[in-house]
Amino acid sequence: MNRKTVKNDSKNRSEKGICDKKNACLFLSYGKIEQRRAQQPARNQWMSVLKEETEMIRGARDCKIEYREHMRGGDGVVVITNYINGPEELNDKGRLFAKITLNPGCSIGYHVHETDAELFYIMKGTAEYNDNGQIRTVTAGDVTICPSGEGHGIANRTEDIVELTAVIVYK
């Protein structure tokens, strides 16, 4: 079964359904699941359906990469691989979902989150995490949480690369 936008034969409008190869579809209508046959979309409609389908999966090559020198007053150049294209992809509940790469000697300087919170999941390496002025060592598998109104920073003082996933959510 594949999710796709198809023309509903009874209402003559486009809606999302789950269809099998024979175009028998399930539609959600007024809180009930209805089963009926969908009309075959024209070729140009298939192209928009295909485009809509592929946007649910973003390939690594399609992620925007940023290079931030002295990020938040830190050292070196931080590499940010953005997994989202903007807050709307997080239903406007946050503004960042990204992989951050800290090469040896790089850091994100200490900063305070006034109106949002930030979480780090350490994927690779060992780093020094500044937790409101207290320096703690974090390693692969650790999660850090910086709530709204608190501050943090992170530094790679090793000879290995540090990779982490960062998520910023609104208060």
What end-to-end distance do the CA atoms of the chain give, in Å? 38
pLDDT band, very low/low/confident/very high, at 56 (cuts 50, 70, 90): confident
One of 3.40.50.300, 2.60.120.10, 3.30.460.80, 3.30.70.60 is the CATH number of 60-170, namely 2.60.120.10
pLDDT in tens, 106-161: 999 999 999 999 999 999 999 999 999 999 999 999 999 999 999 999 999 999 99
Q: Compare 5 and 55 and report the one with higher pLDDT.
A: 55
Domain ranges, ordered by start, for the chain: 2-54, 60-170
Q: Which residue has the tokens 């690594």?
A: 60
Q: What pLDDT is recorded for position 65?
A: 97
Locate 99 and state its tokens: 């992989």
142/119 Cα distance (integer angstroms):
11
**Burial annotation 143-155 (CB, 10 A radius, 16+ → b, else e):** ebebeeeeebbbb
At residue 170, does pLDDT exceed 50? yes
Q: With 0-12 CB in 10 A as exposed, 13-18 as middle and 19+ as buried, what is 78?
A: buried
What is the DSSP pairing of strand 162-170 with strand 32-39? Answer: unpaired
pLDDT in tens, 3-47: 444 444 444 444 555 555 555 555 554 444 455 554 554 545 544
